[in-house]
Amino acid sequence: MAPKPLEAAPEADRIEEAPHPRETRAFFGHREAEQELLEAYRADRLPQAFIIGGPVGVGKATLAWRLARFLLAHPDPAAAPVQNAPDLSVGADDPIAHKVAALSHGDVVLLRREWNEKSKRHYTEIRVDDVRQASHLFRSAAAAGGYRICIVDAADDLNNSAANALLKLIEEPPPRSLFLIVSHRPALLLPTLRSRCRMLLLRPLSSDAILQIIGTLGEPWTETSEAERSAAAARAQGSVATALSLLADEGIALDNQVRGLLAALPALDWRAVHALADRITGRDQTDDCDRVLTAIVDWIDERLHAEAARGPARLAPLAEVWEKAADAAREAEALNLDKRPVILSIFAELAAARALSA
């Protein structure tokens, strides 16, 4: 009997049934950022490290991989193809694109949360050993005198030791090295790390851009109705990842349920809250739990922006809730704890915060 082929480990930075950012060719909504990178490369003035910051799902990793492919395909910034290029695109048939998509290019390395084969779960952080392993890339010369590129997705997952190890790499880089550091909350990164990098911030995408992106993904996303796609794009807070989550399974219905509970605050239908917690925190319900947490974060963001004129003191209780909730959710994930108490606690904290700010 032939041996069973080994299955590829799940990728922490991949959305199910959607192309990974390194496989994505289309790029929408950030032309100015793309042109800034292209012009810096043409002038041979790329810094050694970029922090590409912005909310989850706005295209940060897609831009990082897009730049990496371009640099690997065009190692000479003075060459005619670079000087005449309208953007950072590389043809789908280019051998470089195939190698990058397969993670088999010798001059690019990806730092992300790795798969723990023993626990059958992803590690909850990027570890110092991951950084040390990636550092081997910078101990040999790049092919064709080109760049050696490290993509970090996302720096928010680095533990303290890993962040300091990455900082040391950036402080002592060999020539023609580039670090593309994706971060959802760059203000919380090590100040010393931020000081060594150029910041490139991406804004939330427009609803039109999100609809364009969904249109390039094919099935199952294009099988949804136009009304569903429009509703998901409108609620997505500028995030493709959120829009796809809303379109998956009963995402919009679940979002409606959460928003209905939040709209009644500070009053709470505790029976409905307990029913929701029971539904989303059982075995194999990780996606639904993530959808609910995303819906709560988006609702808090909407309230903070809509009520900004009331002053920071009135909104502070609401802003503090998410910090507490995020810490509790991370701890539950790290220790593989039951998330049901986390969900119940978040709703209780939100009810109290709304009562204080009323």
Are 43 and 163 members of one domain? yes
Let me know if residue 67 belongs to a domain. yes
Residues 185 and 278 in one domain: no
d(CA 114, CA 126): 7
Q: Specify whether 191 is located in the same domain as 331.
A: no
Per residue in 54-65, pLDDT tens? Answer: 999 999 999 999
331: in domain: yes
Asked if residue 16 belongs to a domain, the reply is no
Mark whether 25 and 168 lie in a shared domain.
Answer: yes
Q: What is the pLDDT of residue 137?
A: 87
pLDDT value of position 79? 87
Say if CB 80 and CB 52 are below 8 A apart.
no
274 shares a domain with 187: no
pLDDT at 310: 78
pTM: 0.88
Banded model confidence at residue 332, pLDDT cuts 50, 70, 90: low
* pLDDT at residue 1, rounded to an integer: 40
Give a yes or no: residue 36 inside a domain: yes
Say if residue 257's pLDDT is above 80. Answer: yes
DSSP string, 110-175: EE-PPEETTTTEE-SSB-HHHHHHHGGGGGSPPGGG--EEEEEE-GGGB-HHHHHHHHHHHHSPPT
Q: Do the domain assignments include residue 85?
A: yes
CA atoms within 13 A on the CB side of 341: 8
Do 49 and 131 belong to one domain?
A: yes
**Band of residue 3 on the pLDDT scale cut at 50, 70, 90:** very low
Nearest Cα residue to 177 out of 131, 142, 129, 133: 142
Give the Cα separation of 299 and 252 in Å (integer): 14
Last residue of a domain, one of 135, 169, 201: 201
Domain identity same for 191 and 298: no
Q: Which domain holds residue 99?
A: 21-201
pLDDT in tens, 5-34: 445 788 988 888 899 999 999 999 999 999
**Interior/surface letters 237-263, b for 16+ CB within 10 angstroms, e for the rest:** bbbbbbbbbbbbeebbebbebbbebbe
226 lies in some domain: no
Q: What burial class does residue 223 get, using C-beta atoms within 10 Å of its C-beta: 0-12 exposed, 13-18 middle, 19+ buried?
A: exposed
Which band of pLDDT confidence, cut at 50, 70 and 90, is reported for residue 334? low
Q: Does residue 46 surpass a pLDDT of 70? A: yes
Judge whether 229 lies within some domain.
no
Whether residues 181 and 282 fall in one domain? no
**Whether 263 and 136 share a structural domain:** no
Kindly report the length of the chain. Answer: 358
Selection from 86, 103, 130 nearest residue 23 by Cα:
103
One domain for residues 78 and 152: yes
Q: Tell me what pLDDT residue 284 has.
A: 65
CB 116 within 8 A of CB 88: no
Across the chain, mean pLDDT equals 89
User: Is residue 75 scored above 50 in pLDDT?
Assistant: yes
Q: What is the pLDDT of residues 97-151, one digit of tens each?
A: 999 999 999 999 999 999 999 988 889 899 999 999 999 888 877 766 689 999 9
pLDDT in tens, 263-307: 999 999 999 999 999 988 876 677 788 888 888 888 888 888 888
Q: pLDDT tens-digit profile of 306-317?
A: 888 777 777 788
Burial class (CB in 10 A: 0-12, 13-18, 19+), 312: exposed
- Residues 179, 47, single domain; the answer is yes
Which tens digit of pLDDT belongs to each residue from 183-223?
999 999 999 999 999 999 999 999 999 999 999 998 899 99
**262 in any annotated domain:** yes
Same domain, 295 and 146: no
Reported as a pLDDT band with limits 50, 70 and 90, residue 322 is confident
pLDDT at 176 (0 to 100): 86
Asked if 320 and 354 count as a contact pair (C-beta separation under 8 A), the reply is no
Question: Is residue 350 within 8 Å of 318, Cβ to Cβ?
Answer: yes
pLDDT over 70 percentage in the chain: 92
CA pair distance 159, 342, nearest whole angstrom: 23
Q: Are 297 and 258 in contact (CB under 8 A)?
A: no
Domain boundary among 201, 220, 240: 201
**Can you tell me the distance from the alpha carbon of 118 to that of 85, in angstroms, rounded to the nearest whole number?**
46
- The structural domain count of the chain equals 2
13 CB-contact burial (10 Å; exposed 0-12 / middle 13-18 / buried 19+):
middle
